[in-house]
Structure 1
Amino acid sequence: MAKPRKKQPSRTVQVSCGKCHALLYKYRKGGKGALVKCFVERIVDDHTHEACTCPSCGQVFARETMIRGAPAYKMIGGKVMMK
């Protein structure tokens, strides 16, 4: 399996909770599609206290997994918004 690219994308997006709109991450996203997964190494600012849980409302928005040999968070559909 191919690993994610070593060179990080330049575009930064804000990932927020779909329920209470609290800021969760600032993430370096590649491509122009929907946010399906977040590689842990690409997260610039992490505002969560517990992994995959919103600090404001306590909603679980993702699952921890390994994708192509790298740790990542697999997003649950409709639980996060991206700007």
Structure 2
Amino acid sequence: MAKPNKKGPSKTVDIYCKGCNFLLFKYRKAGKGALLKCFKERISKDFTDIPCTCPQCDKVFARECLIRGTPAFKMIGGKVWCK
């Protein structure tokens, strides 16, 4: 399988925690579908202290995994929203 494009798209979205509305990431998202995964190389700004855990409410919002050989966060449904 092909690896994701390293440069990625120029459009960024803000990813928030659904429980406390804390800003978690600024992410360069491609396409207009739902947010299922975040490739680590496309995260432009990370506001979390511990990976996959919200610093404000301490809830786990994602899991670390490898997708197509690239490190990524796989989002848990209903834990985050993006704008």
TM-score (norm 2): 0.98
Distance 2:28 2:6 in 1: 12
Report how many residues are paired.
83
Distance 2:80 2:72 in 1: 15
Name the aligned partner's letter for residue 37 of structure 2: K
Query: What secondary structure, in the 3-state scheme, does the structure 1 residue paired with 2:65 have?
Result: strand
- Runs of 4+, deviation exceeding 4 Å: none
Q: Which moved more, 1:4-13 or 1:70-79?
A: 4-13
| Structure 2 residue ranges without an equivalent (≥5) | none
Alignment of 1:6-21 (within 5 A): 6-21=6-21
Report the equivalent of 2:48. Answer: 48
Report the equivalent of 1:30. Answer: 30
Name the aligned partner's letter for residue 81 of structure 2: M
TM-score (norm 1): 0.98
Residue deviations 1:27-81, cap 9 Å, x none? Answer: 0000000100000000011000000000000000000000001000000000001
Percentage identity across paired residues of the two chains: 65
* Structure 2 residue 2 is matched with structure 1 residue 2: yes
Question: Per-residue deviation at 1:6?
Answer: 2.8
